[in-house]
Amino acid sequence: MTEHVNSYYAASANKHAPYPTLTEQLECDVCVIGAGYTGLSSALHLVEKGYKVVVLEAARVGFGASGRNGGQIVNSYSRDIDTIEANCPPDQARLLGSMLFEGGQIIRERIKRYNIQCDLQEGGVFAAETEKQLHELKSQYARWQKWGNDQLELLDAKGVREVVASDRYVGALLDKSGGHIHPLNLALGEAEAIRMQGGQIFEQSAVTSITPGQPALVKTAKGAVKARFVVVAGNAYLGNLVPELASKSMPCGTQVIATEVLGEERARSLLPQNYCLEDCNYLLDYYRTSGDHRLLYGGGVVYGARDPADIERLIIPKMLKTFPQLADVKVEYTWTGNFLLTLSRLPQFGRIGPNIYYMQGYSGHGVTCTHLAGKLLSEVLSGQAERFDAFAKLPHYPFPGGRLFRIPFTAAGAAWYTLRDRLGV
């Protein structure tokens, strides 16, 4: 997919020097493919443990979803712990439940340790449009409290109006351990931390082949890396480099707009506590304000990662349904980015042979889970596999109809769930 150059994040990124292109033959302990959050988190945890790490990025650091997402720190996974408890053995469910909130903690630790300037703001809201959704949020509140999140507050219709100036919602769940960040600046800060710790990052260095072996050989157009271990972290931008991964996942696109600068007073009139918010619909809306007081609003899914021609037409009606008071506001930035969807909507971790590892398919919940993934990868390479294997044991299936029909089948299913959302059933 071509990059939307009109990304607010790219326009407001912290100043940084580009990384070189690989043009030589290198040897290292771990070669990481992809400089998004999965790859960056893996590399940073590994260099902190003393591993010699090389990161290969086809485009630029944070080019994919890591540098284009909604910037929301959302806890748990795309399917919550109740689904996991219903379908996994108790010991596996216990391990996965114990990690529900760890990703956000890792992000905050990285920001603090390396002084990453990425506009961190605390607090996230899940907003219900129907009584059925509010009932589900009450169940989520109880589940998350059970697994150790004591920073939750249920909001009634009056309470939700105090955190968002919209008439759409009947209630909400406030998670004070959620929050939001400038996602590209977080990625750039983590990349700089890797460099400072002795890791090497190469941009414009797309991997053309991976040859298994001990060591494995990873080739690019102009160079190669021999590595004891390989970490495949390309997610929705991996293409067909590893065919066995492509059949069990599907790239999807999501669209975001950024308004003109509203000013602090008007921005706070929309979201008085500066929380981020997402609704509870199957194809959800999500929004927040930026460090320079714009409204960033995203929503919808384009299955198969097709690049929509008119993002404003898709997103502005959603924004105005939530905030009709913004009818006079101009949109200055529009962009799209890909995330990787799995049929189960749970992430896919695993091994290919003895020394090639992969983590992918966060299904829209990647900001926190990618950071957890990197920590677990560093654990498994250090001989502690229990937590990584709790994810690796999750079953994953190919999409019905294979690669040819997975898009229409999935879109039809989404249409059904969207209809249910509208009917409140």
Question: What DSSP letter does each residue of 299-324 carry, written as one string?
Answer: EEEEET----S-HHHHHHHHHHHH-G
Given this model, what pLDDT does residue 37 score? 98
Can you tell me the distance from the alpha carbon of 177 to that of 154, in angstroms, rounded to the nearest whole number?
14
pLDDT at 401 over 90: no
What is the per-residue pLDDT across 195-239, written as a single tens digit (0 to 9) for each?
999 999 999 999 999 999 999 999 999 999 999 999 999 998 998
- How far the first Cα of the chain sits from its last, in Å, is 36
**Model's pTM, two decimal places?**
0.92
Q: Residue 338's pLDDT band (boundaries 50, 70, 90)?
A: confident
Mean pLDDT across 390-412: 65
pLDDT at 49 over 80: yes
Percent of the chain with pLDDT over 90: 80
Mean pLDDT across 163-179: 98
- Provide the pairing of β-strand 207-211 with 72-73: unpaired
Given this model, what pLDDT does residue 4 score? 40
Mean pLDDT across 36-54: 98
Q: What is the mean pLDDT of the chain?
A: 91
3 DSSP assignment = -
Can you tell me the distance from the alpha carbon of 92 to that of 121, in angstroms, rounded to the nearest whole number?
33
Mean pLDDT across 126-135: 97
Specify the higher pLDDT residue, 31 or 415: 31
What is the per-residue pLDDT across 64-89, written as a single tens digit (0 to 9) for each?
999 999 999 999 998 999 999 999 99
Asked if omega into 212 is within 30° of 0 (cis), the reply is no
Report the SS3 class of residue 143.
helix
Q: Residue 343's pLDDT band (boundaries 50, 70, 90)?
A: confident
Given this model, what pLDDT does residue 396 score? 85
Given this model, what pLDDT does residue 1 score? 30
Can you tell me the distance from the alpha carbon of 91 to that of 79, in angstroms, rounded to the nearest whole number?
18
Q: 30 — phi, psi (to 5°)?
A: -135, 130
**Is residue 230 a contact partner of residue 210, using CB atoms and an 8 Å limit?**
yes
Q: Residue 306's pLDDT band (boundaries 50, 70, 90)?
A: low
Can you tell me the distance from the alpha carbon of 176 to that of 115, in angstroms, rounded to the nearest whole number?
22
pLDDT at 406 over 90: no
Percent of the chain with pLDDT over 70: 91
Given this model, what pLDDT does residue 309 score? 65
**Is residue 403 a contact partner of residue 395, using CB atoms and an 8 Å limit?**
no
Given this model, what pLDDT does residue 235 score? 92
Mean pLDDT: which of 133-137, 297-301, 412-416 is highest? 133-137
Given this model, what pLDDT does residue 245 score? 87
Mean pLDDT across 17-27: 97
Given this model, what pLDDT does residue 204 score? 98
Specify the higher pLDDT residue, 112 or 417: 112
Mean pLDDT across 110-114: 98
Given this model, what pLDDT does residue 252 score? 86
